[in-house]
């Protein structure tokens, strides 16, 4: 990494006070501060396609900032005006859908397809719809496998068969009825597949094949930690998995989802291809960065071509594997630039998960600087995630332009109504907060 250190940036943000708020540069419109990255790259928002332009109109309606930042990349704005509302609660257009706010539920596996058929259950209805009722602007369904052997565990959700579509519909409708945008993360687990979970046993290890496990595949035959060694994929098999992503995306749209997120993070198949430490291939899918990102770009192209222009396309990345000689921020920025050209609307910025035994300096906001850098240097909207737990902390990230939205993961597992609490903490009127009408009498 060049230009900043995670530790330096995060230490200043771990607080929940009321200090002056900096500006929100709008990556989509170029409004707000002139960033160092924009100046040095000579890049602009021009080139965004028509669908992205739709998003601009809503995104640019975000409240103006109070004051220019005294530090960081956004110090040059002279046009900042007083904020009228917390940035966190400003809507944002995602092609055909509009998220009512920038508090999103990230994908989180629940391993609760108990029949091992990939189909969601009443648990999933309760889980996702309650978070939508709690005010989240976007609710992303957990990693959902595009093939049976692309599951992380036998109890993962799946969309590898038309027969699975129906089980999603009522849940997606429930999420939308409660006012949230419905997103789904599509995944192939690669060498991290066929592992156990609370429902199957074998947690933290491979499920034996005679107990419901399966042989795993990867770019190269390198095992993850104590997991069973994967088999190297042939080029034909790679093409087949690209097609499986496309078909699963079509099924997801058929089930009613507004947003498709491709999982290219955390050491699952697509991120295994990206990382030179897990991809040692010598064909057109290995070696140079262009080759290592080839499968991801093919997936993006296949999905983008198969779904309507109104469907937004996200990609989740690990911005670093936290290991020397591996995947890092600069490669992520290069990849994000390419993904944007290929029709990706937003990059969901996480880190890690690719290599075993790596020390991750996790603390509040520790992944936010990655989001900020990708947003500025690839000029693509981003989300930030990771130990964002406090309303003012979350609001500050959006207000500063470090991300277009924040995701609240574990904190939302213990508090499905986190956005309603945040609305109160940030001083929104009840009428402006995302209450269900039935619950207004219980407002803070």
Ligand X SMILES: Cc1cc2nc3c(=O)[nH]c(=O)nc-3n(C[C@H](O)[C@H](O)[C@H](O)COP(=O)(O)O)c2cc1C
Where along the sequence are the contacts to ligand X (CB under 6 A)?
106-109, 142-143, 185, 263, 265-266, 316, 350, 385-388, 408-411
The residues pairing with 318 across neighbouring beta strands, listed in sequence order, are 350
Identity of the residue, 83 or 102, whose beta carbon is nearer to ligand X in the bound complex: 102
SS3 state of residue 139: strand
Identity of the residue, 285 or 418, whose beta carbon is nearer to ligand X in the bound complex: 418
Q: Which residues are known catalytic residues?
A: 268
Identity of the residue, 65 or 107, whose beta carbon is nearer to ligand X in the bound complex: 107
Identity of the residue, 228 or 385, whose beta carbon is nearer to ligand X in the bound complex: 385
Measured CA to CA in angstroms, residue 27 lies from 33, 120, 221, 403 at distances of: 10, 36, 40, 10
Backbone angles phi, psi at 344, to 5 degrees: -80, 135
Closest CA to 70 of 95, 44, 33, 119: 33
Measured CA to CA in angstroms, residue 290 lies from 274, 358, 408 at distances of: 9, 26, 32
By beta-carbon distance, which residue lies closest to ligand X? 409
> From CA 442, how far away is CA 435, in angstroms rounded?
9
From the CB of 386, what's the least distance to ligand X, in Å? 4
From the CB of 388, what's the least distance to ligand X, in Å? 6
DSSP 8-state class, residue 180: P
From the CB of 350, what's the least distance to ligand X, in Å? 5
Angle between helices 418-425 and 391-399 (to 10 degrees): 80
Identity of the residue, 418 or 435, whose beta carbon is nearer to ligand X in the bound complex: 418
The residues pairing with 232 across neighbouring beta strands, listed in sequence order, are 218
The β-bridge relationship of strands 405-407 and 382-385 is parallel
Identity of the residue, 15 or 410, whose beta carbon is nearer to ligand X in the bound complex: 410
Find the angle CA(167)-CA(170)-CA(175) to the nearest 5 degrees. 125
From the CB of 411, what's the least distance to ligand X, in Å? 6
Q: What is the CB-side half-sphere exposure of residue 367 using CA atoms within 13 A?
A: 27
- Which alpha helices (DSSP H) does 185-280 contain, by range? 235-255, 269-274
DSSP 8-state class, residue 229: P
> From CA 444, how far away is CA 440, in angstroms rounded?
9
The answer for residues whose C-beta is within 8 angstroms of residue 377's C-beta and 6 or more apart is 37, 41, 333, 336, 337
From the CB of 400, what's the least distance to ligand X, in Å? 18
Identity of the residue, 293 or 388, whose beta carbon is nearer to ligand X in the bound complex: 388
From the CB of 167, what's the least distance to ligand X, in Å? 18
From the CB of 36, what's the least distance to ligand X, in Å? 28
The residues pairing with 385 across neighbouring beta strands, listed in sequence order, are 407
**Rg of the chain in Å (alpha carbons):** 21
């Amino acid at each position: 990494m060049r230009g900043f250190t995670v530790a330096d940036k995060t230490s200043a943000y771990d607080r929940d006070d009321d200090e002056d708020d900096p500006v929100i540069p709008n990556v989509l419109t170029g409004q707000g501060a002139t960033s160092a990255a924009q100046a040095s790259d000579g890049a602009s928002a021009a080139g965004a396609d028509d669908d992205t332009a739709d998003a601009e109109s809503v995104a640019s309606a975000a409240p103006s900032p109070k004051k220019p930042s005294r530090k960081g990349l956004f110090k040059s704005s002279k046009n900042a005006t007083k904020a009228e509302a917390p940035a966190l609660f400003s809507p944002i257009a995602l092609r055909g859908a509009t998220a009512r706010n920038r508090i999103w539920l990230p994908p989180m596996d629940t391993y609760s397809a108990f029949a091992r058929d990939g189909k969601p259950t009443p648990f999933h209805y309760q889980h996702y719809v309650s978070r939508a009722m709690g005010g989240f602007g976007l609710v992303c369904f957990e990693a959902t496998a595009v093939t049976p052997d692309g599951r992380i565990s036998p109890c993962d959700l799946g969309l590898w068969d038309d027969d699975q579509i129906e089980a999603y519909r009522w849940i997606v409708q429930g999420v939308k009825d409660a006012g949230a945008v419905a997103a789904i993360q599509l995944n192939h687990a690669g060498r991290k597949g066929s592992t156990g979970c609370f429902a199957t046993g074998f947690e933290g290890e491979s499920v034996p094949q005679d107990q419901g496990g399966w042989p795993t595949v990867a770019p190269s035959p390198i095992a993850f930690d104590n997991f069973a060694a994967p088999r190297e994929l042939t080029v034909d098999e790679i093409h087949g998995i690209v097609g499986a992503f496309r078909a699963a995306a079509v099924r997801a749209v058929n089930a009613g989802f507004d947003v498709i997120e491709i999982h290219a993070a955390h050491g699952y198949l697509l991120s295994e291809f990206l990382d030179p430490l897990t991809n040692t291939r010598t064909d057109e899918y290995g070696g140079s960065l262009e080759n290592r990102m080839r499968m991801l770009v093919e997936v993006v192209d296949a999905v983008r071509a198969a779904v309507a222009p109104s469907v937004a396309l996200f990609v989740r990345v690990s911005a670093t594997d936290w290991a020397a000689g591996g995947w890092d921020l600069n490669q992520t920025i290069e990849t994000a630039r390419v993904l944007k050209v290929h029709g990706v609307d937003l990059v969901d910025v996480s880190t890690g998960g690719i290599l075993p035994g790596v020390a991750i300096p996790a603390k509040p906001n520790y992944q936010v600087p990655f989001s900020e850098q990708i947003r500025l240097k690839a000029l693509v909207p981003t989300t930030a995630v990771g130990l964002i737990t406090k309303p003012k902390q979350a609001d500050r990230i959006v207000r500063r332009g470090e991300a277009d939205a924040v995701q609240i993961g574990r904190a939302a597992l213990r508090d499905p109504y986190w956005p309603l609490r945040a609305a109160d903490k940030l001083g929104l009127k009840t009428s402006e907060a995302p209450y269900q009408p039935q619950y207004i009498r219980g407002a803070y």
